[in-house]
Structures are given as C-alpha cells and as structure tokens.
Amino acid sequence: MVSRISGRTRVIGLFGSPIGHSRSPLMQNTVFAAMGLDFVYVPFDTGARDAAEVVQAMRVLNLSGANVTMPLKRAILPHLDHLSPAADLAGAVNVIVNDGGVLTGHLTDGEGFMSSLAEAGVPYAGRRMVLLGAGGAGMAVAVQAALEGVSAITLVNRRDGFFEAAGAMVARVRNRLGCGITLQDLDGREALAEAIGAANILVNATPVGMHGAEPGMALHDAGLLRPGLVVCDLIYVPRETPLLAQAARRGCVTVSGLGMQLYQAVPAFRMWTGQEMDVELARRVLFEGAE
C-alpha cells in the first residue's frame, strides 16, 4: 500500500463508473510502494458527461496519467490531444499519459487480453472469434486480435449508441488491416448461433454478469456453448461469471478477465513511470481475494 505522500508525489487517476469493485488501486499502489516509486493511484467515480472536466482536471492538477474505464473510454476521445494508433483504430482509450499538459490516449486492453490468451495456452492466430459487446473494451480486443492474426472476427452488439461507432471501427480495421471483421445485431439470434458454431473463441465484452452491474449471462442461449470452445469473459469481479460457469459445465475452455486486467497494466505502468512493473507482485495482489 502507499507508504508515504510527499510534496513531489505523482498522481495517477482511475476514472469511470462504477469503480468501487476495481482492484487496480490496490494493485498499483502496492507495486509503487514495493518498487520505491513516489506515485499514488487514486480512483475518481466519474460518468461520461464528466469527460471534459476530467481532462481539464488532469491538466490543472498535473496528474501524470490515468486509467479510463466505462463509460468514459469513448466519451473522452474528443478532449485528448493525441491518440496512439490502436486507440485511433478502435475509437477508445483506457490509458492517458500527461506530458507537460499534452494528453495522449492509449489502448492497452487488447494487448492485455491477447497476452492472457497466450498465457492460458490458447492459440489464436488463424482462428475465428466472436465478440459480444462493442464498447471500448470490445473494440480494443477486436483491434488487437486483428493486429495479431485472428482470421475472422464477428462483433455483436445491440443497435444502441455503440452500434454506429462499432460500424465505423469495423470499416477502419477492414480497410487498414484487411481482416475479415463483421458487425452483427445481437437480436439476430440465428446469425449469432451460426457465428458461434463456426468460432474457436467466444468473448464477453459486455458488463452483463459483473458485480454491481447487469446481472445474468451475456449469452442468451447456453446451448450454443460446446466442448472445446474457448470462452472468455473480460469481467474479473466475480472471477467466475455466470457465462464462465455455464461454459465450464459444458466442457469449454474458460479464461477469466483477471489476466487481461493484469497485462493491460504492464504497458500503462511503463508509460507512466518509465519502469517495468513487478508483474509477479501485481499478479499476487490482483488474484488474491478475487472470487
């Protein structure tokens, strides 16, 4: 935990809502203290309508950087000065770096997710993926999966405010990377069943099943789960979501969101501090007590 606060302590923020469940403050502050870094990581519960004020506060208060989660990942984009290539492709950010008042948005969620697949021994190059949810995290995973050689990606979402943005992202990825990526309406049950039937990997990138958010299972029909299908959930609280519990019962390979949460933090930590994170310490802190 934070050992001291000095007059030179550099502040990293966590912006989003809800964030009461987040284990990132505990993880980051434990690693900062253990590595002797004069940094502190502080959560701020903020909504999409606060995006402009969040950016202004980062400049005025000289925050060194921030993590951004729902619902700010897309809402904050117009207020930033620069975007990394992945953030520009996806149209979302989860990391902000403040360099003398110039704020650059980065996207490390996708890197974190693909690293978690690799750690779990899941092959993905040349495979087919179905992604449920086209919010910031879902689009991050889609972009990184395309960059790392997933051959076909089906992005599925309701026709809500995310759908139009997802369509624009799909077009960008298809045009720039040549990936076979498509967008489907979640209400198209037959098309979804067909896509999952042909897929190797199914990913839930919606908040359905997360503590404090929408209860239930992200997939409408557990009968679509089959032995050998790799089923992943970006949610990490609880560690076993209703989707993962059903998948395990049906013989699927399951991957929780804890690995992504760990590995998305590694490049962010490097950008904020100039140091390499103690990954094993971060893993112990993040995974301890995760239910």
CA distance 135 to 158: 11
| Pairwise CA distance, residues 276 & 209, whole Å | 33
Paired sense of beta strands 82-83 and 253-255, if any: unpaired
CA-CA distances (angstroms) from residue 13 to 40, 69, 135, 267?
Answer: 8, 11, 21, 16
Answer yes or no: is 38 a known binding residue: no
Cβ atoms of 142 and 165 within 8 Å: the answer is: no
Among the listed residues 41, 73, 154, 258, the single catalytic one is 73
- Does the annotation place 22 within a ligand binding site? yes
Q: Per the annotation, does 241 bind a ligand?
A: no
CA angle, 88 then 89 then 95, to 5°:
50
Residue 213 assigned as binding residue? no
Question: Of all helices (H) and strands (E), which one includes residue 249?
Answer: helix 242-249
- Rounded CA separation 97/94 (Å): 10
Is 94 annotated as a binding-site member?
Answer: yes
Is 73 marked active-site? yes
Q: Which residue in the block uniquely carries the two structure tokens 């403040």?
A: 98
87 annotated among ligand-binding-site residues: no
- Binding residue per annotation — 109? yes
Q: Pick from 235, 258, 227: which is nearest to 115 by CA?
A: 258
Q: Would you state the torsion angle of the CA atoms of residues 37, 43, 47, 51, taken in this order, to the nearest 10 degrees?
A: -20
User: Is residue 24 a known part of a binding site?
Assistant: yes
**Residue 184 among known ligand-binding residues:** no
What are the tokens at 229?
A: 């299908």
**Residue 135 marked ligand-binding:** yes
Q: Is 234 annotated as a binding residue?
A: yes
Catalytic residues: 73
Binding-site residue positions: 22-24, 69, 94, 109, 133-137, 234, 236, 257, 264
Binding-site residue positions for shikimate: 22-24, 69, 94, 109, 236, 264
Binding-site residue positions for NADP(+): 133-137, 234, 257
